A = this chain, B = another copy of it.
């Protein structure tokens, strides 16, 4: 069944004439006959009484009329949606984020987004950055704002927004608190508190401790940096944290002059067309970055 048949049907119904309908449709009159005939065969009914001068809807044809109009209306409405609403965010924006990003980077962004697009509801999914990347890869979500992996899945598309410089952090009363700079070997004597194995941040840290990794005394692992911060403040051990988390309870020390950093930013799926809402959020993040 074809939409052209519906169009022919409506034209004949309105004009009560196959030949006038043919004119309107810019086809020949036998073509109109055939379109109607096919609709009739399809529906196994008669749609018009061909009564010489006029062709008039049968009862079956009359009851098709509103349906046919609604079908064309649906198509028309959709085409208008495509044309007009293409750049107006609305509805819900779902995004994944990590606890750290959600706590330290996102509040500002979300506030600005709500001001710019008050009609969009936000649906935040807190999860570990690694899980967020898996969800994105599996097309379960289309947008994540998390810690970026160093060696990402090929299916992911990364867009760094913020850089976290990492430093060794100590309690003010830690034995090494007085040193100007610290090296790997010094730290081996003291207990460490690190992000959980498997986290992107832990992998970055591991890279820098590659040679001494196995000798470290790791007394606690957690995927929540805030916990690490509290533990370090209580002088239970040293750790490595973004300098943005430093405050009076912690002392930061560069590691032998090295520059250690991780990227936070946007994760999307390669080849996936993003919703208007996601695009708006991404554009806002990119604009804020400069």
CB within 8 Å of B: which residues of A? 1-4, 43-46, 49-51, 54, 56, 58-60, 63-64, 67-68, 70-71, 74-75, 77-79, 81-82, 139, 155, 269-276
Contact = CB atoms under 8 A, between A and B. Distances in A.
A58 B276 CA distance: 10
B1 A45 contact: no
Given A43-B78, A67-B78, A82-B45, A56 B3 contact: no
Given A56-B139, A67-B77, A49 B276 contact: no
7 contacts: A1-B3, A2-B3, A49-B273, A51-B155, A59-B275, A60-B82, A71-B71
Contacts of A275: 59
Contact of A51 (B45, B82, B269): B269
A105 B281 CA distance: 77
Nearest to A54: B139
A1 B59 CA distance: 27
Contacts of A273: 46, 49, 58-60
Contacts of A270: 51
How many copies of this chain does one complex carry? 2
A225 to B, nearest CB: 33
B63 A71 contact: no
A2 B1 CA distance: 6
A49 B3 contact: no
A9 to B, nearest CB: 11
B49 A272 contact: yes
A83 to B, nearest CB: 9
Contact of A271 (B49, B67, B68, B271): B49
Nearest to A85: B63
Nearest to A60: B82
Given A1-B3, A54-B139, A58-B273, A75 B67 contact: yes
A168 B82 CA distance: 78
A145 B146 CA distance: 80
A41 to B, nearest CB: 13
A272 B78 contact: no
A49 to B, nearest CB: 5
Among A64, A74, A81, A155, chain B packs the most CB atoms within 10 A around the CB of A74
A20 to B, nearest CB: 16
B51 A139 contact: yes
A270 B78 CA distance: 43
